[in-house]
């Protein structure tokens, strides 16, 4: 079982819609969760971090964490073509010294 | 400007050669990391270092070596023992804030191709 699982996609949404990206993790003791955006051929860029259950909003982005279900999601409101990228979910293991990355979900926002 | 630099951007290696990838950061971050990314796959940890002169193996350390002689620098050597080194190599760094709140930031990456 992989530590972090993501649907590879692609997820296609029309411009202006809400994109919903999902991630599950296996270690119930994980404490810290991150979303990275990676454009094709580029390095990952941190866009959100979340540490406690519930929602965290930053501009058009909302991260949602449910530790009981071992589930973290990223919502992108008013999706733009420039949001088209691969979104990586990352989790810090309970011993705090290793990140585990999912393989990413590719998002296509169609004009 | 603060940030993480990696060089070269593209690197071509012949069979049997060792090559060294550079990673430098001026963010005063404590920890540095090397990842490998293959097409359609997530990032896999090669080595990490939380303090100068100390480093730990990650999940795929075989065929790689590192050093951490300065806080700012964490070079990665891909040795001839690494049988399939063609990949995108990413260096990252983070503060060590404790409590698992250590956000990692990435350099631009080095794309290594074996000829």
Q: Could you tell me the pLDDT band of residue B115, with boundaries at 50, 70 and 90?
A: confident
User: What was the pLDDT predicted at A5?
Assistant: 94
Separation of alpha carbons B65 and B77, rounded Å: 5
Chain A's closest residue to B40, CA to CA, is A103
Supply the Cα-derived Rg of chain A in whole angstroms. Answer: 13
How far apart are the CA of A48 and the nearest CA of chain B, in angstroms?
Answer: 10
- List, for residues A6-45, the tens digit of each pLDDT value: 998 899 999 999 999 999 999 888 889 999 999 999 999 9
Residue of A nearest to B94 (CA): A97
Which phi-psi region, left, alpha or beta, contains residue A29 (left: φ > 0; alpha: ψ -120 to 50)? Answer: alpha
Chain A environment of B113 (Cβ under 8 Å):
none
Q: Read off the pLDDT of residues B52-103 as tens digits, 9 standing for 90 and up.
A: 999 999 999 999 999 999 999 999 999 988 888 999 999 999 987 766 678 8
The tokens 């990314």 sit on which residue? B37
Cα separation of B49 and A33, whole Å? 21
Q: Which of A42, A45, A102 sits opposite B42 (nearest CB)?
A: A102
C-alpha distances in angstroms, B36 versus A1, A18, A84, B19, B45? 20, 31, 23, 15, 7
Distance from CA of A78 to the nearest CA of B (A): 26
CA angle A58, B92, A10 (to 5 degrees): 55
Q: Which residue has the higher pLDDT, A1 or B61?
A: B61
């Amino acid at each position: 079982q992989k530590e972090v699982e993501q649907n590879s996609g692609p997820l296609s949404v029309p411009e202006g819609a809400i994109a919903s990206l999902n991630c599950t993790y296996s270690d119930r003791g994980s404490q810290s969760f991150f979303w990275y955006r990676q454009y094709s051929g580029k390095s990952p860029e941190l866009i959100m971090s979340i540490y406690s259950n519930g929602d965290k909003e930053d501009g058009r982005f909302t991260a949602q964490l449910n530790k009981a279900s071992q589930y973290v999601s990223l919502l992108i409101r008013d999706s733009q073509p420039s949001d088209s990228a691969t979104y990586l979910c990352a989790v810090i293991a309970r011993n705090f010294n290793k990140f585990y990355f999912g393989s990413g979900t590719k998002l296509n926002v169609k004009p | 400007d603060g940030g993480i630099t990696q060089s070269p951007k593209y690197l071509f290696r012949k069979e049997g050669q060792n090559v060294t990838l550079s990673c430098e950061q001026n963010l005063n971050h404590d920890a540095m990391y090397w990842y490998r990314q293959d097409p359609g796959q997530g990032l896999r940890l090669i080595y990490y270092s939380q303090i100068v002169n100390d480093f730990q193996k990650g999940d795929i350390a075989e065929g790689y070596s590192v050093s951490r002689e300065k806080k700012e620098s964490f070079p990665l050597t891909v040795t001839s023992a690494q049988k399939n080194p063609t990949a995108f190599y990413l260096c990252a760094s983070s503060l060590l804030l404790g409590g698992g709140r250590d956000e990692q930031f990435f350099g631009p990456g080095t794309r290594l191709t074996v000829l």
